[in-house]
Amino acid sequence: MQAVRSRAARTMPSTRFLSRLLFTSPSSLSKTNSCSQSHLQFIISSYSFSSASLLLSSPVKPDASPIRFSSPFLSSRRGVYSSSRMDQIDVSYIGQQAAKEIDEILMGPLGFSVDQLMELAGLSVAAAIAEVYKPSENRKVLVICGPGNNGGDGLVAARHLYHFGYQPVICYPKRSSSRLFSGLVTQLKSLEISFVSEEELPPMLSDEYDLVVDAMFGFSFHGTPREPFAYLIRAVSALTCANIQHKKETKVVSIDIPSGWDVELGDPAQEDTDVRGIRPHMLVSLTAPKLCAKKFTGPHHFLGGRFVPPAIVKQFNLKIPPYPGSSMCVRIGKPPSVDISALRENYVSPELIESKVSADPFDQFKIWFDEALAAGLREPNAMALSTVGKDGKPSSRIVLLKGFDKQGFVWYTNYGSRKAHELSENPHASLLFHWNELNREVRIEGTVTKVSEEESEKYFHSRPRGSQLGAIVSKQSTVLPDRTAIYNAYKELEQKYCDGTEIPKPEYWGGYRLTPTLFEFWQGQPSRLHDRLQYTVREVEGKQAWLIERLSP
């Protein structure tokens, strides 16, 4: 019997959001030629850099007066504001001064270093990108980095994106000479990640890139962006026109503050000025959303930076949503509405040919299962078990494969559960493995029997003690009055066996084995011309053999 071990790994979500965010103003959308005019204006301005020097953002001096803005959002509570407008999530929005004070406290009495915060921020950005934009569809990423800490966040994010399977390219025109930033550049070059100048970029970024990460300016920046960043902001803003004309959507992700925006007032274009900031598809706020984030209208707003200590939360009265599991980011905006009928995947996979597969379906399953493990899929042993009782009503649930050999596929459960009752009435069942990242499925039909008591005992005592106790206290599929009932029963049992003595396997818990009579291997292909190879048992010269047949997709 081959034991099955699950490898946990970071995976990419399979859901695709098809809503398109257009950056252009309502007036420009009403004219069919306005995008062409904007595109032409951008191309002309691209080659006429201003001679003005670059205004660098720098840390605030202790004796510097805080910069204040006349804003309808400002109140007397140190620049911290709360809103539950976004999908009923109560979250704080902070002003520029509060953001600066939080950073000073983090890097002062709380002992954080700049490089530590930068690493956490960059990882958060990369995690948010990976949650929405799969590398298989958005592989080429342009990361535009400014001279300050926001640019450093972008450099860190680029490194993590590389390890997540993307192909980042970095535009870093005004490099910092500090040891920290030089080290980040060295790390990226060691991965053979390309650096390009602004002059080397294509006139239309959508011609080469699937994603653009805006890491130019953060919350400490003020004033009007100067060259070459004014040009780069225009280049990213012009992607809207490129999307319309070229029928290709290059997504834009801004780190903390969309470049060109006022930290508190938002996009200056919304105030009927001639200056226009970037309007991204995704905004990844750091520590807490800044006031300008209230005017973000894109489909994906995330919060990153899972490092805010309770002292900061208390001092600034911050309201931060909980992060799910071990994630470094949390969605704080309502996900975009989706036309379910429009959700589709264009599969691209190696062909599944009869002459190239194993004659034995058990061997073919092992090949695919090993490849799923090697690909880092999370719980590739998860399978849908479908059963039908004597009433003819089907039911399905996910169980975990715990072993397989030529005799069948084994899992363990409570013998008093619904699936166990249905299997006692009808021993025919099916298993389905769905490996989305590999565009593969395996469906197995057969008859089910219980494994030996010895086999169940051996596996039960190989489980963690907590899982053993859970198997005892759970009367699976029965109705509970509330969660405390099973939790209290668990704590009592935990206390009973706290001395480390062996926990006896309950009689109502054990394993099942499905002995296959049919296998189907499915491989996704373009235009829905999927490969489906079916193995069935046939009698050949008095012996049982597996017959391979191709099914229509």
For residue 228, whether the previous peptide bond is cis, meaning omega lies within 30 degrees of 0, is yes
Contacts of 382 (CB under 8 A, 6+ apart): 398, 399, 400, 401, 433
Residues in the chain: 553
Per the CB < 8 A criterion, the answer to whether 275 and 234 are in contact is no
212 - beta bridge partners? 142, 252
Active site residue 528: yes
Per the CB < 8 A criterion, the answer to whether 379 and 435 are in contact is no
Q: Specify binding-site residues.
A: 149-153, 214, 218-224, 256, 259
Amino acid identity of 272? Answer: D
Task: Bin 376: left if φ > 0, else alpha if -120 < ψ < 50, else beta.
Answer: left
Closest CA to 228 of 430, 498, 45, 351: 45
Q: Specify binding-site residues for K(+).
A: 150, 214, 259
Q: Specify binding-site residues for (6S)-NADPHX.
A: 149-153, 218-224, 256
Per the CB < 8 A criterion, the answer to whether 212 and 142 are in contact is yes
What does the alpha-carbon distance between residue 298 and residue 67 come to, in Å, rounded to a whole number? Answer: 28
What does the alpha-carbon distance between residue 249 and residue 213 come to, in Å, rounded to a whole number? Answer: 14
399 - beta bridge partners? 383
DSSP string for 343-410: -----------GGGS-SSHHHHHHHHHHHHHHTT-S-TTEEEEEEE-TT--EEEEEEE--EEETTEEE
Q: Which of 77, 85, 378, 528 is catalytic?
A: 528
Q: What are phi and psi of 205, to 5 degrees?
A: -60, -30
Per the CB < 8 A criterion, the answer to whether 379 and 4 are in contact is no
Residue with tokens 């800044």: 290
Crossing angle for the helix pair 149-163 and 179-190, to the nearest 10 degrees: 20
Per the CB < 8 A criterion, the answer to whether 424 and 23 are in contact is no
| Burial of 418 per CB tally in 10 Å (0-12, 13-18, 19+) | middle
Q: What is the set of active-site residues?
A: 528
